[in-house]
């Protein structure tokens, strides 16, 4: 999924970005992600059939959650490397924010979860 964050890629481009994954495993994972509507495959050539892969909106949402989990884990390792802003290098922070009140929620106990 991380390899698709910057936009659509062809299979060979994904294979180059992920050299530790065998082509058959990569193909299987892409098919599974497509079935789950995390990735969408778009044909760019008919003969032979060739696809370009990109994240769906659900895929982008999931990628954001996975980044938060990766950052959480990195901060707890022996050599923490939190996510940084690419332009200035500052460590990024995740905060709960209410768009209606324009308030950052500092107390996690003040967050109410509701069943849908």
pLDDT of residue 17: 92
pLDDT of residue 77: 77
pLDDT of residue 70: 78
Mean pLDDT by 10 residues, the chain (116 residues): 88 93 95 96 91 94 83 77 80 77 75 64
Encode burial over 56-73: b for 16+ CB neighbours within 10 A, e otherwise: eeebeebbeeebeeebee
pLDDT of residue 11: 94
Cβ proximity of 58 and 37 under 8 Å = yes
pLDDT of residue 110: 65
pLDDT of residue 2: 81
């Amino acid at each position: 999924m991380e390899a698709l964050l910057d936009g659509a890629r062809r299979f060979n481009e994904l294979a180059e970005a992920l050299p530790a994954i065998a082509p058959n495993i990569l193909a299987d994972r892409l098919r599974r992600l497509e079935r789950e509507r995390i990735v969408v495959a778009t044909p760019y050539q008919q003969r032979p059939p060739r696809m370009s892969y990109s994240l769906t909106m659900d895929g982008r949402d999931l990628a954001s959650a996975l980044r938060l989990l990766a950052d959480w884990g990195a901060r707890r390792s022996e050599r923490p490397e939190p996510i940084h802003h690419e332009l200035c290098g500052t460590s990024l922070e995740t905060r709960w924010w209410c768009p209606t009140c324009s308030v950052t929620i500092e107390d996690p106990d003040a967050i109410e979860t509701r069943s849908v």
